[in-house]
């Protein structure tokens, strides 16, 4: 990307693999899931080289299997979460919970960017609508790698919503 030095790039969840396959290294990587399943899915992309260059943005719910890999981590307290409440009970200076960081990692990344005083945000490649059940994420994502743990996971086309070209796309209640 010719103008890459002119903006800050935050990858969200499994988008990291797609970016790295295209030799694009983000400045930040955002994760929010609690389980170690995420660490297993991401392990091939969380190399020493990547984790030394990229700063992790994570909620306090993210597994240490991920947070311990990165040299630089910005950890945010998840709003409306019992873990954040428990952390705040034992300290003199309470953590400020990050509100509106659900339900997707994109929500978290945008909220974290705002907390870091980033003021001009452009969202690219957010796969929240899909034309067919067979094409629900970027073609180079791990969802279409038959060896990946994500290969058999796909959002259900629960609803139809208007797209930005005058037609419609499928989505799910969460997305």
The answer, yes or no, to whether residue 136 has pLDDT greater than 60, is no
If one counts every other C-beta atom within 10 angstroms of the C-beta of residue 38, the result is 19
pTM, rounded to two decimals: 0.83
pLDDT at 146 (0 to 100): 72
Model confidence at 109, pLDDT cuts 50, 70, 90, reads: very high
Q: What angle do CA 114, 115, 117 make, to 5 degrees?
A: 65
Buried b (16+ CB within 10 A) or exposed e, 139-172: eebbbbeeebebeeebbebeeeeeeeeeeebbbe
pLDDT of residue 90: 78
DSSP 4: G
CB 157 within 8 A of CB 151: no
pLDDT at 144 over 90: no
The predicted structure's pLDDT at residue 56: 98
Those residues whose C-beta lies under 8 Å from the C-beta of residue 11, and which sit 6 or more positions away, are 19, 26, 28, 29, 30, 54
pLDDT at 65 over 90: yes
pLDDT exceeding 90 applies to what percent of the chain?
43
What is the model's pLDDT at position 125? 73
- Confidence bin at 158 (pLDDT 50/70/90): confident
Q: Average of pLDDT values for 125-147?
A: 68
The pLDDT score that the predictor gives to residue 147 is 78
User: Mean pLDDT, to the nearest integer, of 107-117?
Assistant: 96
pLDDT value at residue 139:
66
């Amino acid at each position: 990307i010719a103008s890459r030095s002119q903006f800050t790039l935050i990858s969200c969840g499994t988008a990291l693999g797609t970016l790295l396959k295209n030799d694009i290294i983000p400045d930040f990587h955002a994760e929010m899931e609690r389980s170690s399943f995420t660490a297993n899915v991401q392990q091939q992309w969380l190399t020493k080289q990547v984790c030394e260059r990229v700063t992790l943005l994570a909620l306090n719910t993210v597994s240490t299997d991920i947070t311990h890999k990165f040299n630089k981590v910005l950890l945010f307290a998840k709003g409306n979460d019992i873990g954040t409440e428990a952390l705040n009970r034992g300290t003199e200076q309470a953590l400020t919970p990050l509100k509106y960081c659900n339900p997707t990692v994109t929500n978290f990344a945008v909220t974290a960017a705002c907390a870091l005083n980033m003021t001009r945000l452009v969202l690219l490649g957010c796969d929240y609508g899909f034309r067919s059940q067979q094409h629900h994420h970027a073609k180079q994502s791990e969802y279409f790698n038959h060896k990946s743990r994500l290969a058999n996971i796909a959002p259900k086309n629960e609803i139809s919503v208007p797209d930005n070209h005058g037609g419609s796309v499928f989505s799910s209640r969460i997305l």
